[in-house]
């Protein structure tokens, strides 16, 4: 093959290279899955050529927060992600995922995560290395990176006990984090709102952070409270980062509830002050004023002690139901979505059983009216019927706050998309919504800054050496989109609608999306920290 011949050339595009600088009209030459040339390629020839006149050419989008940990093995379903321009996803989020596990903890995690991460039957792995090797031997549409989930290592060390860890147990958890980092993880994640991570104190958080800081990993955290105590919850993780020396990344940053809006600017200022102090802090955000999580997140923390089986037992106990109802209605001591947002703003997104599928899309208030009972009891009954496998959407805020957070330079895009049922529209729409609705229509920032938030910003978080920019020598993960037409179409009522405007997507140099259609090419790979 002649030197000036490439596997593929993308010509005449407006190249937004990921740096956040304005576009430049250049060509991209691709050969053997790598970008050897970003230049005017005039007389050079490509075996395949794409005319990108009038289109933006950008690095492949990196989704900083996903729950595709097993769905990524189903390209027939998971291809909706690469169709949005997402070429790499960061899995292992919120402290709860599929590895590491033991023969004792594996059945419990399989049961708990069935609705979130996907059900592929038996898990033929225990360690993170074994899980990643499983993915490496699976056809995937896009690339996957992984975080060590705090809840998994906690359950290995001390089961699902609802108590603080001893110093010895914290040391064991730190060792397990280090093992995960050695096996290729990029950091450690925690979801301090969710069991069993909710029972951790700051000393435990410092311990797991030290385990990842040793390998220059990051601490990716769903903070303990995103509403009435959000400022204090942010203080907790910033202090853990300060003590441990870890890089801090706050997942799906927001402040929930109308009564808490005054805390938003305080929280942003705290992160800015942390940066000024020398703590590397970033955050991701999905571009919607609604969240999505487990229905059992409405329950007070004591209901989760012992895991899902114990929770279900308590839901069947009349006295415990009464106590839980009182706390759900009145307690501000935990991140309480009912108290902060109201029953009418909590909507059923997905259930496990076919018989209850008709309930998807109903608010918990509407469910209660249909059942002729109180909303708390309707929720308890649904959890029992579905054995805890229910996801909800929580309408928590307003567009003004979403845009204010999005404009912040520490922000990057993370969809937090969950498959199944009637999901949150962020699964299908997040990246196109930022590019179309916020950048083009609302002019929140130029298109090249939007691209930076989707590419080099998450690449920097993960310390990726060859992705996130369009540069010579980098892997050929590339998106070509129409800046005048890109728009999200997914809505809360009709969430399963693909965004439009993405023309072509390359993953590792191969064309995964051509003219807006999935080609069937599955050239995704596992990216390991090295």
Measured CA to CA, the distance from residue 234 to residue 69 in angstroms comes to: 27
DSSP 478: E
Is residue 461 included in any domain, yes or no? no
Is residue 525 included in any domain, yes or no? no
pLDDT score, position 266:
98
Q: What tens digit of pLDDT does each residue of 427-454 get?
A: 999 999 999 999 999 999 999 999 999 9
Is residue 66 included in any domain, yes or no? yes
Same domain, 224 and 202: yes
The three-state secondary structure class of 204 is helix
Same domain, 368 and 514: no
Contact by Cβ (8 Å): 151, 196: yes
Contact by Cβ (8 Å): 340, 396: yes
Closest CA to 280 of 376, 209, 361: 209
Same domain, 307 and 331: yes
CATH at 172: 3.20.20.140
Same domain, 252 and 381: no
**pLDDT of 479 above 80:** yes
Same domain, 332 and 210: no
Res. 118 pLDDT band, cuts 50 70 90? confident
Preceding peptide of 508 cis, ω within 30°: no
Pairing of strands 502-507, 510-514: antiparallel
Contact by Cβ (8 Å): 69, 28: no
Is residue 493 included in any domain, yes or no? no
**pLDDT of 1 above 70:** no
User: Hey, what are 507's tokens?
Assistant: 């993953």
Closest CA to 483 of 5, 81, 38, 13: 13
CATH at 47: 2.30.40.10
Least confident residue range of 117-121, 167-171, 366-370: 117-121
Mean pLDDT of 169-187: 98
Is residue 85 included in any domain, yes or no? yes
State the chain's mean pLDDT as an integer: 96
Contact by Cβ (8 Å): 62, 458: yes
pLDDT score, position 3:
63
Residue span of the structural domain in which 310 resides: 294-395
Mean pLDDT of 291-306: 93
Mean pLDDT of 405-420: 96
Question: Beta-carbon neighbour count of residue 304 at 10 Å?
Answer: 21
Same domain, 202 and 283: yes
Is residue 460 included in any domain, yes or no? no
What does pTM read for this prediction? Answer: 0.94
The backbone torsions φ and ψ at residue 123, rounded to the nearest 5 degrees and listed phi first, read: -95, 110
**pLDDT of 195 above 70:** yes
The backbone torsions φ and ψ at residue 125, rounded to the nearest 5 degrees and listed phi first, read: -150, 160
Q: Which residues pair with 478 in a beta bridge?
A: 59, 506
Closest CA to 93 of 171, 178, 210, 187: 187
Residue 49's Cβ-count burial label (10 Å; 0-12, 13-18, 19+) is: middle
The DSSP line for 445-456 is: S-HHHHHHHHTH
Measured CA to CA, the distance from residue 342 to residue 339 in angstroms comes to: 6
**pLDDT of 219 above 60:** yes
Res. 2 pLDDT band, cuts 50 70 90? very low
Same domain, 271 and 318: no
Res. 11 pLDDT band, cuts 50 70 90? very high
Measured CA to CA, the distance from residue 285 to residue 64 in angstroms comes to: 9
Same domain, 31 and 94: no
Which helix (H) or strand (E) covers residue 366, if one does? helix 364-371
User: Hey, what are 280's tokens?
Assistant: 């590397």
Same domain, 152 and 263: yes
Mean pLDDT of 137-158: 98
Which helix (H) or strand (E) covers residue 249, if one does? strand 247-250
Contact by Cβ (8 Å): 285, 431: no
Pairing of strands 411-413, 218-222: unpaired
- Which residue among 349, 370, 395 closes a domain? 395
**pLDDT of 269 above 70:** yes
How many structural domains are present in the chain? 3
Res. 220 pLDDT band, cuts 50 70 90? very high
- Residue 229's contacts (CB-CB under 8 Å, 6 or more residues apart) are 332, 335
Res. 489 pLDDT band, cuts 50 70 90? very high
Contact by Cβ (8 Å): 248, 222: no
- Residue 273's contacts (CB-CB under 8 Å, 6 or more residues apart) are none
pLDDT score, position 453:
98
Order of all β-strands in the sheet with 218-222: 148-149, 187-191, 218-222, 247-250, 281-285, 411-413
The three-state secondary structure class of 70 is coil
Same domain, 474 and 420: no
Is residue 492 included in any domain, yes or no? no
Percent of the chain clearing pLDDT 70 (strictly above):
99
Same domain, 278 and 299: no
pLDDT score, position 225:
95
Is residue 443 included in any domain, yes or no? yes
> Mapped to the 3 state alphabet, what secondary structure does 250-298 carry?
ECCCCCCCHHHCCHHHHHHHHHHHHHHHCCCEEEEECCCCEEEEEHHHH
Same domain, 160 and 105: yes
**What are the C-alpha distances in Å from 13 to residues 24, 448, 478?**
8, 13, 12
């Amino acid at each position: 093959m002649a030197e000036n011949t490439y596997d593929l050339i993308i010509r005449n595009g407006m190249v937004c290279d990921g740096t956040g600088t304005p576009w430049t009209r250049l060509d991209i030459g691709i050969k053997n899955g790598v970008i050897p040339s970003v230049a005017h390629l005039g007389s050079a020839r490509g075996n395949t050529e794409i005319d990108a006149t009038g289109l933006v050419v950008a690095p492949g989008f990196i989704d900083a927060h996903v729950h595709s940990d097993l769905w990524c093995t189903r390209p027939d379903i998971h291809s909706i992600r690469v169709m949005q321009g997402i070429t790499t996803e960061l899995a292992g989020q919120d402290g709860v995922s599929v590895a590491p596990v033991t023969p004792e903890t594996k059945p419990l995690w399989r049961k708990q995560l069935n609705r979130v991460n996907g059900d592929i039957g038996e898990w033929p792995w225990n360690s993170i290395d074994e899980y990643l090797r499983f993915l490496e031997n699976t056809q995937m549409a896009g690339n996957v990176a992984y975080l060590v989930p705090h809840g998994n290592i906690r359950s290995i060390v001390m089961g699902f006990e609802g108590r603080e860890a001893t110093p010895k147990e914290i040391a064991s958890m730190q060792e397990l984090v280090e093992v995960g980092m050695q096996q290729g993880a990029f950091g450690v994640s925690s979801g301090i709102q969710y069991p069993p991570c909710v029972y951790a104190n700051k000393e435990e958080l410092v311990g797991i952070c030290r385990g990842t800081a040793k390998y220059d990993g990051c601490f990716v955290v769903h903070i303990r409270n995103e509403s009435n105590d959000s400022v204090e919850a942010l203080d907790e993780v910033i202090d853990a980062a300060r003590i441990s020396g870890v890089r801090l990344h706050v997942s799906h940053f927001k402040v929930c509830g109308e009564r808490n809006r005054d805390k938003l600017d305080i929280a942003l200022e705290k992160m800015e002050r942390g940066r000024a102090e020398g703590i590397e802090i970033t955050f991701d955000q999905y571009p919607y004023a609604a969240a999505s999580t487990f229905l059992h997140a409405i329950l007070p923390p004591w209901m989760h002690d012992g895991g899902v089986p114990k929770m279900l037992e308590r839901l069947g106990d009349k006295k415990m139901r009464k106590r839980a109802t009182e706390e759900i209605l009145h307690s501000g001591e935990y991140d309480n979505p009912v108290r902060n947002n109201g029953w009418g703003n909590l909507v059923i997104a997905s259930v496990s059983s076919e018989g209850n599928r008709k309930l998807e899309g109903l608010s918990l208030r509407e469910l209660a009216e249909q059942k002729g009972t109180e909303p708390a009891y309707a929720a308890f009954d649904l959890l029992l019927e579905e054995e805890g496998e229910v996801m909800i959407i929580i309408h928590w805020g307003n567009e003004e706050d979403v845009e204010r957070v999005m404009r912040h330079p520490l922000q990057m895009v993370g969809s937090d998309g969950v498959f199944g049922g009637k999901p949150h529209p962020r699964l299908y729409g997040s990246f196109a919504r930022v590019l179309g609705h916020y950048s083009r229509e609302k002019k929140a920032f130029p298109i090249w800054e939007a691209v930076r938030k989707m590419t080099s910003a998450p690449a920097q978080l993960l310390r990726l050496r060859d992705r996130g920019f369009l540069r010579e020598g980098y892997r050929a993960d590339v998106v070509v989109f129409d800046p005048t037409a890109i728009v999200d179409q997914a809505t809360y009522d009709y969430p399963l609608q693909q965004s439009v405007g993405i023309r072509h997507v390359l993953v590792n140099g191969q064309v995964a999306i051509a003219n807006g259609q999935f080609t069937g090419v599955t050239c995704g790979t596992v990216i390991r920290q090295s």
